[in-house]
Structure 1
């Protein structure tokens, strides 16, 4: 496989990771684009990408870390408005423990692979993951709407959400049912499948909710490729079925951490 084909195959998932890190598609895509531009300008970096998916994420992490350090070093008390706004945007930067958790859950890397990506030792990465999980357990709670047409999966998500201390404001298997739940109580977080029981779309159900107001949304689907095309705004948080419970926990934590108001932008 050529380097171009190899990067193209992994790019949708790197973009997913970048969105989860930054809390938005525009910011995530900007970091991915900068990574690719850096690879084009640096033959040694470009050559390193021949090593596969781990190398691509490692290159991205170096760009991400460098950008964060540059922002932190801007201007001090004499910084202009642009620099101040830049610092504020990265003020809620995803800390290392969340990066480690996302790599080992959402992106399904081993601790060894995540350690290489983050340029840390494996023991440190495992410690960061434990720290992130403990942090999740201390987070404030919200009420959650589950849009899922498979009863067993819906019940599994209910149990998981409640184990984190959140409240279920309703469950829905169709777009119409989702509308009925939201009419009675607006959720603070939505977990949504794409393909629903009556042939309706979870995307449409989410659009209905966002038309009322901002709310973080996590899509959980067996068909991630339908939303990883780059042809339309893509979800900030996208989990593939079958999922690990820790992956859902990490996505919920990250969504609430950023309070994302534009899950499809």
Structure 2
């Protein structure tokens, strides 16, 4: 591999790293654990970049390299994890292997069935089977109370319809940060689904942080047109980030997983 090609590949991998880290944190439910797997992937690529010569896109190749590390580790969460992540182990033990992986790869990272097959080294037929199992085991596994922070009426109504059809109860919708904090005090949710930029210029991130100061451990999903702004690696980051414009399946997948397995670390 020439020096110029190697440099170009490094630049491309760097641009894809935020999405690998998002995926890794969603799998582990914890920023530190997820980043550990991402870092191990990069270390492996320093010694062997052969995966990028298999005829697939750089993103597919990067995620395949990650899965080699992930599969060899054999444990999605470290033994020292506590809180939501620790409780989630009981759920994870009952799930069919690779179901969460294919669900996240398909709905959040938007890989095709064929691409997922390459990433996890399975046939497309097996990937389809795993996606069907994931829908049954994961999507319908947990129900709860969800608060929505969203200033656009049409989007807020759409999100309400999606989560209600999933069997969740909606505690309310807030359009600005101060209203969100007050709503959470009156009726504490099990999960927060939040936009970033709100109607009065206030921040959904600030609202979530204020809420978590009083509620403690709670899964959060952020919805934003600019996910890279939350995935910088320079501060605590959420485990679940959905990119606008979103799909119904993306919301369903993220909500289902976040309800029982998410990082509620505050975003500075």
Same fold (TM over 0.5): yes
The CA distance in 1 between the partners of 2:52 and 2:124, in whole Å, is 25
SS at match of 1:205: helix
State whether residues 216 and 263 of structure 1, in contact with CA within 8 Å, keep that contact through their aligned partners in structure 2: no
- Give 1:15's match in structure 2, choosing from 15, 18, 21: 21
Q: What corresponds to 1:149 in structure 2? A: 151
CA displacement at 1:225 relative to structure 2:
2.2
Structure 1 position 257 matched with structure 2 position 260: yes
Question: Alignment length, in residue pairs?
Answer: 252
- Give the equivalent residue in structure 2 for 1:78: none
Q: How does 1:103-114 map to 2 (within 5 A)?
A: 103-114=105-116
Tell me if the contact between 2:64 and 2:118 (Cα under 8 Å) persists in the aligned partners.
yes
CA distance in 2, matches of 1:46, 1:39: 9
Q: Report the Cα distance in structure 1 between the residues aligned to 2:50 and 2:20, rounded to whole angstroms.
A: 20
Partners of 1:222 and 1:241 within 8 A in 2: yes
Rounded Cα–Cα distance in structure 2 between residues aligned with 1:6 and 1:138: 37
Q: Which runs of no fewer than 5 residues in structure 1 stay unpaired?
A: 73-82
Name the structure 2 match of 1:77.
Answer: none
In the TM superposition, what whole-angstrom CA distance separates every residue of 1:16-52 from its partner, at most 9, and x where no partner exists?
1111111011111000000111111335357669851
Q: Distance in 1 between matches of 2:132 and 2:189?
A: 29
1:5 and 1:147 map into 2 onto residues whose CA distance is 35
CA–CA separation in structure 2 for the residues paired with 1:255 and 1:170: 18
The answer for the alignment partner of 1:63 in structure 2 is 69
Residue from 170, 177, 180 that aligns with 1:178: 180
Match of 1:232 among 219, 232, 235: 235
CA change 1:203–1:41 in 2 (3 A) is: same
Question: Is contact 1:24–1:263 with CA below 8 Å preserved after alignment?
Answer: no
Q: CA deviation at 1:133?
A: 1.2
* 1:123 aligns to 2:129 (yes or no): no
Secondary structure class of the residue paired with 1:179: helix
Contact map agreement 2:142 2:256 (CA 8 A) in 1: no
DSSP-derived class of the 2:14 partner? helix
Structure 2 contact 172–183 (Cα < 8 Å) conserved: yes
Aligned mates of 1:21, 1:124 — CA distance in 2: 20
- Structure 1 residues 5 and 259 mapped into 2: Cα distance closer, same or farther (>3 Å)? closer
**Greater CA drift, 249-258 or 43-52:** 43-52
State the shift of 1:143 in Å: 0.5
The answer to whether the aligner puts 1:39 opposite 2:45 as a matched pair is yes
- Pair 1:50–1:142, CA change in 2 (3 A): closer
Once the 2 structures are TM-superposed, how far is the Cα of residue 263 of structure 1 from its aligned partner? 5.9
1:169 equivalent to 2:171? Answer: yes
Going from structure 1 to structure 2, the CA distance change for 1:137 and 1:228 (only over 3 Å counts) comes to closer
Q: TM-score, normalised by structure 1?
A: 0.87
